[in-house]
């Protein structure tokens, strides 16, 4: 049977309430009693029952994680391990632990969130993706529950707190970078169009083209829904154009891997015949051949900052509504873009 607070109380010759106050380190308890109680806790190997505690003080010391549905391949992207590492680091520092539900469909994920919020299983939620018209964000907002989004939420983003990379800027920068290297025909390969990241990055890409006086060619913009495998189709489509591009901006390292692998099969050499630049700077970027030039977006930092905001919000130290944090990024130049094109 479990050791309860009463056992400790009995052992230390005090009331349960006193033990509780010792746990909370209340100044109202004398030093002497505290020591006696602590000793008793030690001896009996007492650990407070978290559920009793949560029930009584209406707090859980847990943060909920909302991930894309387990069915999708998205989850395989090391991006997630890394955000979670950031989240869990900050969470741990502040004594929170992590809680996750999953579901195979979006509907199930949604149900999971609802019951974790309404069932008071967590004190706050980090949402790890953002797509157009998302029920989850809507729900969290309506129930006035503390939450923060990693990435830019679509709906009403002015009222929700989120942590993001300036993807628009990053998209613009890499495109300009390619132009500086001498490329005039620059394509864009992105993930699912209803992800905010994709839209932002493609937006930056277009702006850059305009600013540099290059034409925007819609057939240069392709989206490949399935991460790596999708890359293959995208590349084939691009290369079969009358004027195939000489450089390509890929919206994710994983996808870039797929793109390069396909180019390799087609015996198109990177970077000589095709420059490739991508985003996220996952550790595999360093070890691909050729090593990828990629935008470091500090994924760990995104998770860490998000959790930071969430904790502020839960403690009601937060700005009333809708704080946004932009984590800085920078381009890491490796070999996939080669040098200047003559």
The number of beta carbons lying within 10 Å of the beta carbon of residue 127 is: 23
Separation between Cα atoms, residue 307 and residue 318, nearest integer Å: 12
The residue (of 99 and 138) whose beta carbon lies closer to its own copies is 99
Q: Show the DSSP H helices in the chain as ranges.
A: 5-12, 16-23, 31-44, 50-57, 78-93, 106-118, 135-142, 167-180, 196-211, 227-239, 253-265, 283-287, 299-314
Question: Three-class SS of residue 186?
Answer: strand
What character string, x for contact with DNA (CB under 7 A) and - otherwise, covers 239-268? Answer: ------------------------------
Distance of alpha carbon 39 from its chain centroid, rounded?
43
Q: Which does 283 bind (CB under 5 to 8 A by kind): DNA, its own copies, none?
A: its own copies
Applying CB under 8 A, which residues contact its own copies? Answer: 2, 45, 47-52, 54-55, 60, 62, 70, 75-78, 80-82, 85, 88-89, 91-92, 97-104, 108, 112, 114-116, 118-121, 228, 257-258, 260-261, 264, 283-284, 286-289, 291
Separation between Cα atoms, residue 58 and residue 61, nearest integer Å: 10
309 binds DNA (CB under 7 A): no
Q: Which does 162 bind (CB under 5 to 8 A by kind): its own copies, DNA, none?
A: none
6 binds DNA (CB under 7 A): yes
The residue (of 53 and 73) whose beta carbon lies closer to DNA is 53
The residue (of 72 and 223) whose beta carbon lies closer to its own copies is 72
**Of the candidate residues 49, 89, 105, 193, the single one contacting DNA (CB under 7 A):** 49
**Of the candidate residues 35, 39, 43, 57, the single one contacting DNA (CB under 7 A):** 57
52 binds DNA (CB under 7 A): yes
Question: Three-class SS of residue 158?
Answer: helix
What b/e readout covers 22-42, taking b as 16+ CB neighbours within 10 angstroms?
A: bbeeeeebeeebbebbbebbe
Handedness of CA 200, 205, 206, 211 (dihedral sign): positive
From the CB of 38, what's the least distance to DNA, in Å? 12
Q: Which residues pair with 240 in a beta bridge?
A: none
Segment contacting DNA (CB under 7 A): 7-15, 64-72, 180-188, 293-301? 7-15
Catalog residues that contact DNA under the rule CB under 7 A. 1-6, 13-21, 23-24, 27-30, 32-33, 46-49, 52-53, 55-58
């Amino acid at each position: 049977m479990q050791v309860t607070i009463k056992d400790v109380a009995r052992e230390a010759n005090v009331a349960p309430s006193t033990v509780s106050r010792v746990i909370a380190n209340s100044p109202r308890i004398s030093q002497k009693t505290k020591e006696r109680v602590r000793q008793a806790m030690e001896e009996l190997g007492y650990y407070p029952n978290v559920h009793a505690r949560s029930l009584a003080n209406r707090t859980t010391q847990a943060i909920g994680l909302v991930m894309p549905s387990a069915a999708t391949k998205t989850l395989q992207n090391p991006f997630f391990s890394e955000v979670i590492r950031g989240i869990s680091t900050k969470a741990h520092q502040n004594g929170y632990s992590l809680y996750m539900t999953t579901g195979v469909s979006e509907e199930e994920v949604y149900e999971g969130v609802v019951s974790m919020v309404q069932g008071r299983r967590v004190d706050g939620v980090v949402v790890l993706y953002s797509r157009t018209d998302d029920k989850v964000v809507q729900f969290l907002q309506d129930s006035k529950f503390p939450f923060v989004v990693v990435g830019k939420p679509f709906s009403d983003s002015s009222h929700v707190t989120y942590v993001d990379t300036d993807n628009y800027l990053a998209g613009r920068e890499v495109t300009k970078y390619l132009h500086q290297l001498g490329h005039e025909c620059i394509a864009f390969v992105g993930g699912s169009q209803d992800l905010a990241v994709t839209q932002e990055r493609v937006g930056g890409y277009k702006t850059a083209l305009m600013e540099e006086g290059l034409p925007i060619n819609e057939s240069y913009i392709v989206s490949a829904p399935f991460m790596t495998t999708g890359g293959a189709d995208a590349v084939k489509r691009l290369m079969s154009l009358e004027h195939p591009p000489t450089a390509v901006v890929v919206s994710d390292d994983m996808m870039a891997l797929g793109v390069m692998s396909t180019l390799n099969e087609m015996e198109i050499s990177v970077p000589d015949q095709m420059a490739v630049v991508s985003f996220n700077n996952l550790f595999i970027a360093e070890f691909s051949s050729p090593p990828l030039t990629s935008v470091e977006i500090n994924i760990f930092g995104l998770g860490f900052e998000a959790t930071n905001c969430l904790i502020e919000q839960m403690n009601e130290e937060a700005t009333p509504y809708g704080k946004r944090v932009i984590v800085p990024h920078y381009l890491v130049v490796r070999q996939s873009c080669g040098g200047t094109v003559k």
